[in-house]
Structures are given as structure tokens and as C-alpha cells.
């Protein structure tokens, strides 16, 4: 066999071997990388003292990027202006922190990266990395921890700022409005918080749902919570602190009204409406009339008037029972007149324990029952009456309901008349009722109630109140006509006995009224009766 033939045979053997190997599998990318970046070194080193640099570089073993840096990275004490931190929107093997201002003397700084540091390829996070340094001779080492809860809802508010204000000769509670706190941390997406590297001293502990991320309390948009007592370090380091966060009710203020139709102004306001009165100071016709009612969803009063008259602007005086007084001058012009339109609280299904309620976009003035009929599924006339509520601008259809029935309500033209003279066209509304066995019932017994009254609320998974009872003594509480589904239960300790849950006030040192939550989800089924005992702890 000559050399050329030997080489040919050898080549064929190699090709056959490679081909057989190729048939066994194909090249893949390998297993997914689930390893987070590894911290390698930092310049200056982490936990340095006598720090005097204007830049920090933190190195990792692979390319990293910063995710949600604005939310995740917390620097305590806060710096103004904030340092420049890179990379943002790109990847690098190191994080650079460039200080834009002089650091405080003899101060321990902590830069908490949360879960922002990720590898560039798979997004694996290096969780809760902290870089700590001191401009003095030593590092402060005290710490505290706790949790922040929502005072009125079981749902967790993520990314809440928790702050410590140093109690010294310059401290006052009003500092929360205009002064950045001494130390800050963040709950990230949980309720838990922890402060590290604190120095000995006395502090005020507060929590903010800080919409502007500026570490200042802005009542119009922020929620606040506070620990009532002064935190003393190191004595309180072993405590677990709990803060209830709430939305304050603002001090009452009437905002500039706006004309929204020919005969209507809306008066928005902040705070509690509390006997708000609107008085028109401008000259008006002799037969001038007004009607005012509260909006069902917004902090707004609807102000209706008749007849329309010509003038460039109107002068209103707004007062309330707490000596509030303001003069407001909105623009005034001729506009289109509103037509009467009807909407309903219930659409196709009317609960057996409710009355059929409907509303108008204009103020209802009168109802002519002679032009209204109600028939059941057998087209038999059903006796009824109509009840007009001018204060809330709604009407109720009162009749004896029967289960598993369907009804047709017909209102002929001019059955309804509103404040400005509009009447309805023919309106036909169809609705029905369920069988009694389609509903479930909860019988509730409360135990360990120290003081009555208490407010018992049944809510759905969205924290919407489905049903409410006020218990004034020890008695069996019944929640009936419940649609099948999952429910949650809470008890409001009604301290001031006014029948509603009252929020807190930071400057007055008032905590929101306490709420106790039933520990389990209550699964209501059709035609079931559940007996529950709620032991308040």
C-alpha cells in the first residue's frame, strides 16, 4: 500500500469518527449561569477609617450592571448633592462612586446597594452588598431593626424609607418637612428594615412612603409612620421596632372652583370637608337658587345654580365650622347645558338585602311614580315606591324582593325631573335576584374585646370593604347574603367612638386607630353557614 492510499484511508477513518461523535449530540450553550458576581477588592478598602478620597472603585470578578439604582442604593447619612455612581445603562468590572461635595468629619457612611448589583449576562444579583467607611478614627457599629406595616391595609407598601433624626438642641418634629435625616435605610420589597453603623445617641424613628425620594415628608403625597418613644442607643439595640404607616388627613383648604357646565361649578378641596359652606357674594337675580352635594368618589362639592346670568367672574366665600374662611374668584362664561343621565349602583344583579339605587349626573328634583312601572319575570306589576335623597343626589327603588326573580323597571318620559328643568327620555332597566341558596353566611363571635364599640369589616383580596358591622356589646355578629369567595376580616378599635377608622397625625403625636386582623382567609361557599371565633390579641 503506497503512502497516498494510506493517507486516504486515515482521512476516511477520522471523518467517520467525527461523524459518529456528531450524531451523539449537538453543541449547546451549557448550563445557565446562576452564580452571582463575586466581590474582589475596593479602593479604598471596605470599612476604611480616616477616609479622605473623592472617589471609590469596587471591583468584581465579572462584568456587572446596576438595576433600579435610584430605588435600591441607599446612602446613609444622605449626601446633597448625591454622588455619581456608575455604570448606569452599561456594564463594567467595577463600580465607581464619585463624590460631588465634601464629606462630614468624624462620620461613618454606609452605602447599601440592596439588590442592584447584577452580572451582565444572566442578571444574577449580589444581594445586600454594603460599602462602609469613616472619615474619623473609628467605625460606628450600633444597629437596630424592625418592620413597617400599613395601618389600614394588609397589603405591603414596598420601598419605604425609614429614617432616624438625631435628638439634639436643634431637633423638632417639624424637621421632617425640610431637613434630611441623620440616617436612612429602605425596606426594599418587604416590610423589614435594619440600620447599621449607628453612633451612640438619641433618635426619632419614622417611616415614609417617599413619593419624591427626597427624604422629606410631603403630606399631600406621602404616607408617614413613627415610633412614639425616643430611641436610645446603645440601650435599645435589642428591641424589634414596629411602625404603622398611614396617610394623614390634610388641614382643610378649598381649592379654586371650576365651571364645568352652564349651571355647575365644582369645588375641590383638601382635608375633611367638615361643614364646608359656599356663599356666593356676587350680585344674583332675585329668583336665584343653589343646590350643593358631595361627589361620591372625589374630594369635591358640586355646586348647582339657576338661572344662568351674564357676568365675567363670580366671587365665592368658602367657610367651615373651624373658622376657615377664603374668597375664591373663578371665571364664568356661557357653556352647554347638561342633559339628565342615569347610572346605577347595581347593574344586572340586585342582592336580596339591598335596594336598587340609581344616580343622576345632574341634581334630581322630583320623581313622578305614575310614569314608572316595575314588573317581574311573569310580567306582573310589582308594588313599589321611590325615595329621593337630595343630600346624596340618589334615588332608591323600594319593593319586596323575591329570590330567583327578574325585574323590568321602566320610566316613561318626564318621570324624572332635575334641578335645572331637564327630564328623562324613556328608560328601561332589567335586573334580577339570585336564589337564597346562592349565598353564604358567617356567624362571628369576638373574644378579648377590651372596650366597645368596635368596627368589624369583611374585605376582599383587594382590601375593599364588602360588609361592615359596628359591635357595641358582646353579641353574635352576622354577615349574610355573601357571594361565594375568599374574604378577610379585621376589627377596628374605635377609640373615639365615631363609627369610622381614624388615621394618625405626626405633629400631634396621634397614632392611627389600631386594627386587628383575623389570621386566616375565610372561604365562603354557597348555601353554607360558617361559625368563626375571633380572639383579639
Q: Which letter does DSSP use for residue 295 in this model?
A: -
Reported as a single tens digit per residue, the pLDDT across 116-158 is: 999 988 889 888 899 999 999 999 999 999 999 999 988 888 8
Structure-derived torsion over alpha carbons of residues 22, 23, 29, 32, reported in degrees to the nearest 10: -140
Out of 43-52, 151-160, 383-392, 509-518, pick the least confident: 151-160
Predicted confidence (pLDDT) at residue 259 exceeds the cutoff of 70: yes
Task: Please tell me whether residues 310 and 229 are part of one structural domain.
Answer: no
Of 53, 114, 55, 115, which is closest to residue 85 (Cα–Cα)?
Answer: 55
Considering 86, 106, 134, which residue would you say is the last residue of a domain? 134
Centre a 10 Å sphere on the Cβ of residue 172 and count the other Cβ atoms it contains. Answer: 10
Are residues 405 and 450 part of one domain? no
Q: Is position 359 within any domain?
A: yes
CB 353 within 8 A of CB 369: no
478: in domain: yes
Q: Is residue 26 part of a domain?
A: no
Q: For residue 209, what is its C-alpha cell?
A: 412612603
Determine, yes or no, domain membership for 407: yes
237 and 291, same domain (yes or no)? no
Interior CA angle at 453 toward 447 and 454, to 5°? 60
From 414, 434, 454, give the residue that closes a domain. Answer: 434
418 with 442, same domain: the answer is no
Is the confidence at residue 28, as pLDDT, over 90?
no
Whether 99 and 172 map to the same domain: the answer is no
Q: Tell me, what's the pLDDT at 7?
A: 52
Average pLDDT on 62-70 reads 91
Separation of alpha carbons 9 and 24, rounded Å: 23
The CATH number linked to 482 is 2.60.40.10
Q: What is the pLDDT of residues 409-445, one digit of tens each?
A: 999 999 999 999 999 999 999 999 999 999 999 999 9
Residues 442 and 424 in one domain: no
Residue 7 domain flag: no
**126: closest CA among 66, 185, 77?**
66
Residues 195 and 166 in one domain: yes
| Residues paired with 479 in a beta bridge | 442
252: cell is: 382643610
Mean pLDDT of the residues in the chain: 91
Range 507-512 average pLDDT: 96
- Least Cα distance to 517 among 497, 487, 495 occurs for 487
Handedness of CA 12, 13, 15, 19 (dihedral sign): positive
Q: What is the pTM of this model?
A: 0.82
Q: Which three cell numbers stand for residue 239?
A: 428591641
Give the C-alpha separation, 146 to 203, whole Å. 15
Residues 6+ apart with CB under 8 A from 410: 372, 373, 374, 375, 426, 427, 428, 429
Q: Which domain holds residue 428?
A: 342-434
Domain termination site, one of 84, 115, 134? 134
* pLDDT tier for residue 33 given thresholds of 50, 70 and 90: low
Q: How confident is the model over 182-200, as pLDDT tens digits? A: 999 999 888 999 999 999 9
Any domain includes 502 = yes
Count of the separate structural domains present in the chain: 5
Least confident range of 81-90, 219-228, 495-504 = 81-90
Which DSSP letter does residue 275 get? S
| CATH code, domain with 86 | 2.60.40.1220
Amino acid at each position: 500500500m503506497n503512502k497516498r492510499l494510506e493517507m486516504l484511508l486515515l482521512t476516511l477513518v477520522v471523518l467517520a469518527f467525527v461523524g459518529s461523535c456528531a450524531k451523539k449530540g449537538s453543541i449547546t450553550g451549557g448550563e445557565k449561569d446562576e452564580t452571582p458576581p463575586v466581590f474582589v477588592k475596593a479602593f479604598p478598602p471596605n470599612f476604611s477609617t480616616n477616609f479622605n478620597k473623592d472617589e471609590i472603585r469596587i471591583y468584581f470578578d465579572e462584568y456587572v450592571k446596576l438595576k433600579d439604582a435610584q430605588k435600591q442604593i441607599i446612602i446613609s447619612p444622605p449626601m446633597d448633592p448625591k454622588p455619581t455612581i456608575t455604570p448606569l445603562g452599561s456594564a463594567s468590572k467595577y463600580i465607581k462612586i464619585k463624590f460631588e461635595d465634601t464629606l462630614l468629619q468624624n462620620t461613618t457612611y454606609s452605602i447599601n446597594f440592596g439588590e442592584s448589583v447584577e452580572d451582565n449576562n444572566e442578571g444574577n444579583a449580589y444581594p445586600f452588598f454594603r460599602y462602609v467607611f469613616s472619615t474619623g478614627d473609628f467605625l460606628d457599629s450600633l444597629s437596630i431593626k424592625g418592620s413597617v406595616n400599613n395601618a389600614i391595609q394588609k397589603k405591603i407598601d414596598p420601598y419605604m424609607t425609614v429614617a432616624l433624626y438625631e435628638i439634639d438642641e436643634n431637633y423638632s418634629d417639624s424637621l421632617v418637612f425640610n431637613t434630611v435625616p441623620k440616617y436612612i435605610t429602605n425596606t426594599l420589597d418587604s416590610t423589614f428594615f435594619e440600620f447599621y453603623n449607628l453612633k451612640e445617641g438619641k433618635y426619632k424613628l419614622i417611616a415614609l412612603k417617599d413619593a419624591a425620594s427626597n427624604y422629606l415628608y410631603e403630606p399631600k403625597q406621602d404616607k408617614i409612620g413613627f415610633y412614639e418613644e425616643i430611641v436610645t442607643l446603645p440601650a435599645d439595640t435589642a428591641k424589634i421596632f414596629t411602625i404603622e404607616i398611614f396617610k394623614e388627613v390634610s388641614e382643610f383648604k378649598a381649592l379654586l372652583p371650576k365651571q364645568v357646565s352652564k349651571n355647575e361649578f365644582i369645588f375641590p378641596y383638601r382635608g375633611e370637608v367638615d361643614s364646608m359652606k359656599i356663599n356666593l357674594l356676587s350680585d344674583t337675580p332675585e329668583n336665584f337658587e343653589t343646590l350643593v352635594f358631595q361627589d361620591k368618589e372625589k374630594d369635591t362639592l358640586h355646586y348647582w345654580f339657576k338661572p344662568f346670568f351674564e357676568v365675567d367672574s363670580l366671587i365665592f366665600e368658602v367657610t367651615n365650622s373651624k373658622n376657615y374662611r377664603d374668597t375664591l374668584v373663578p371665571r364664568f362664561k356661557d357653556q352647554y347645558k347638561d342633559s339628565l343621565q342615569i347610572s346605577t349602583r347595581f347593574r344586572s344583579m340586585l342582592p336580596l338585602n339591598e335596594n336598587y339605587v340609581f344616580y343622576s349626573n345632574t341634581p334630581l328634583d322630583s320623581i313622578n311614580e305614575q310614569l314608572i312601572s316595575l314588573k317581574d319575570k311573569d310580567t306582573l306589576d310589582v308594588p313599589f315606591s321611590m325615595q329621593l335623597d337630595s343630600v346624596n343626589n340618589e334615588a332608591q327603588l323600594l319593593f319586596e324582593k323575591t329570590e330567583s326573580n327578574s325585574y323590568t323597571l321602566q320610566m316613561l318620559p318626564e318621570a324624572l325631573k332635575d334641578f335645572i328643568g331637564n327630564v328623562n327620555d324613556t328608560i328601561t332597566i332589567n335586573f334580577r335576584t339570585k336564589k337564597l341558596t346562592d349565598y353564604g353566611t358567617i356567624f362571628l363571635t369576638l373574644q378579648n374585646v377590651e372596650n366597645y364599640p368596635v368596627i368589624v369589616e369583611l374585605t376582599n383580596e383587594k382590601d375593599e370593604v364588602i360588609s361592615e358591622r359596628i359591635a357595641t356589646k358582646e353579641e353574635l355578629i352576622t354577615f349574610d347574603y355573601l357571594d361565594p369567595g375568599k374574604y378577610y376580616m379585621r376589627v377596628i378599635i374605635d377609640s373615639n367612638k365615631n363609627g369610622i377608622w381614624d388615621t394618625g397625625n405626626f405633629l400631634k403625636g396621634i397614632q392611627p386607630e389600631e386594627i386587628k386582623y383575623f389570621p386566616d382567609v375565610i372561604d365562603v361557599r354557597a348555601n353554607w353557614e360558617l361559625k368563626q371565633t375571633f380572639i383579639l390579641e
